Amino acid sequence: MKKIIVVGGGPKTYIPSFQRWAEEDVEWIGADQGAEVLVEAGITPDVAVGDFDSVSAASYQKIKDKARKMHTYPDEKDETDLELAINEALNRKAEHIVLLGVTGGRMDHSQANIQLLYPLMKKGVKAVIVDHQNQVEMAACGSHKINEDPHYPYLSFLPVTLEVKELTLNGFYYPLSKAYLPFGSTLCISNRLVEDTGTFSFESGILLVIRSTDSMDHGKGSSH
């Protein structure tokens, strides 16, 4: 499965350490200031994408010198820099996209970035947003397996659609059987697995699956 890691221009303090992907065969795409973060970490961007209005002239030149490819766009455009970077990942036949540096800071940006998971899900591309405290994915109706991760012990399920029907959770501390989950419900906040592998299934709707930790220091620190 071809994996591409896209680094956005969100607050650097939210970006987890790149070390967790050090042994993996991945490609790196930097979106705007995300390209600067990669260069500062000693990682060569396979592609740098964006209008680069968030970086200095000196930093822009460093990105231009280091990146294998660079696509510069005007400030006024219909897509965000992150969406352009995701499109580049899709053009490169990504099957699994990890999004870093896309949370924190402005709420409109964070919300829009979470919504970008939807078209990726519809295309059948595995996509996950990761920051130092959370992992976020979107799931369509059906049956799904989920493995325990001690780094992110809490699991929450939030409806993206107006309702999610027949939600069943097995292998969880708080199990459910064919529950109705309307938009705005907090029923499925802060659950956890009691087995190595659990399952969740539902018959209609779309869920946001959020894995979290209370520790603000998890995965944080240097992205180098």
- Report the pLDDT value the prediction gives residue 23, as an integer from 0 to 100: 87
- Report the pLDDT value the prediction gives residue 105, as an integer from 0 to 100: 86
Task: Output the CA–CA distances (angstroms, integers) from residue 126 to 3, 153, 202, 205, in the order listed.
Answer: 9, 21, 19, 18
**Structure pTM?**
0.92
- Report the pLDDT value the prediction gives residue 221, as an integer from 0 to 100: 45
Domains along the sequence of the chain with CATH? 3-131 (3.40.50.10240), 137-212 (3.40.50.10240)
Residues of the chain with pLDDT under 70: 216-224
Determine the Cα–Cα distance for residues 28 and 45; give it in Å rounded to an integer. Answer: 5
Number of Cβ within 10 Å of residue 123's Cβ equals 10
- Beta-carbon contacts of residue 195 (< 8 Å; ≥ 6 apart): 148, 171
- Report the pLDDT value the prediction gives residue 195, as an integer from 0 to 100: 95
